[in-house]
Copies of this chain bind each other. A is one copy, B any other.
Amino acid sequence: METQAVAQALTPSARALYGPGPSNVAPSVVDVMTRSMHSHLDPDFHTVLTELVDMLRAVYRQEHGLVIPASFPGTSGMEAGLMSLVDPGETVVVATSGFFGDRIVQAAQRYGANVVEVRADHGDIVPNDQILDAVRRHPDTRLVGVVHAETSTGARHPVAELGAALRDHDAFLFVDCVTSLGGIELSPEEWGIDYAYSCSQKCLGAPPGMSPIAISERALEHARTKRVRPPYSFDLAELARYYVDRPVTYHHTVPVLQLYALHEALRLVLEEGLENRWQRHAEAGGYLQGQLRERGLHLLTDPDYQLPQLTAVRVPDGTDGAAVRQRLLREHGIEVGGPLGAGGPSIWRIGLMGVNATTASADHVLSAFDAVLDTAAASGR
């Protein structure tokens, strides 16, 4: 068994990652992972962590509360937040019009919360009024969950307005920022978000594996004192003792090389400037979307709520969406996404995130689509 199982060394083909993430990583972000690896308890590495947390605060524009680069996927960032802020049996209101809103619903149900769903169709957004109505009907609501940038549809929820409307309510505002952080305007503290979770591998431009989290002071205080404790891995107060408090208290062994990469990626974000970066994402996405419409293709999402960094395109009738994606991959080395989950509309998802948020990348993916769709049409499909 042992000898037979030895695989060949990896030689992965080149990929332009124009799907919903991960996006391609800048050369300096890759390079920093080849530097001398320190341990998670090395005093020099704690300086790195301190810098990293400071940069993450700047990217989240959050001065108070807690900001950490948690070493687990965004889905765990979501569950750590639910389990840290809610007790089983408490009421949470969740707005969903896509796969990742549904995921909040399912995770909260699995945990034993009393979940009030407010739904809209894929590609739409749930109107804030409907969310507020649900909160009014359930005055004991502990948490209101919503997705800022729905990765399955490319729709942007107006979170600033929701935060303003909930300002005087005790419920915590809990927001999936997985596809928004670094790509579009996001200001948790200013907007009244109590718990924001994101990922490393989309608009921030680091490899996948980390979940940057920002927690308000009042949410952190509740997490420290509430009745039911979350798993130790998900305990924000314990994580703070490692990532933020000095001297460090050991919590777990963090992914040191990934944190080097995130440190470098955040450096690049701040060197560019957050508002410049949002502008770059807006221009690249706007250009792509205009070109797609010119080709007669239809976008899933209402233009008023269309994200620039992620565009869901309806697969034309009679076209095999999966076959097109396969040809983009095999003939052009380009990844674009397909539909996520069962029951959603037939779409392609094109992401221009991080280093790929340029009109050059837009032209690259457009010309590949042109080539593949032309041939597909010529062959009568």
Contact = CB atoms under 8 A, between A and B. Distances in A.
Contacts of A19: 39, 41
B2 A274 contact: yes
A68 to B, nearest CB: 14
Q: How many copies does the complex hold?
A: 2
A112 to B, nearest CB: 9
A252 interface: yes
Contact of A48 (B10, B255, B335): B10
Interface string A20-45: 01101100101111111111111111
A57 interface: yes
Contacts of A4: 58
Interface in A67-90: 71-76, 79, 83
A330 to B, nearest CB: 9
A71 B260 contact: no
Interface stretch (A135-143, A156-164, A225-233, A358-366): A225-233
Contact of A76 (B74, B233, B260, B263): B233
A51 B14 contact: no
A298 to B, nearest CB: 24
19 contacts: A2-B270, A5-B55, A6-B55, A6-B270, A10-B48, A12-B38, A13-B36, A15-B39, A15-B42, A21-B253, A43-B329, A73-B252, A73-B254, A76-B252, A79-B231, A208-B256, A209-B254, A257-B258, A258-B258
Given A9-B264, A208-B257, A209-B209, 20 more contacts: A1-B57, A1-B58, A5-B57, A5-B270, A7-B55, A10-B260, A11-B35, A12-B35, A12-B38, A14-B36, A34-B34, A41-B337, A72-B73, A72-B76, A73-B233, A75-B252, A76-B76, A201-B253, A208-B255, A250-B340
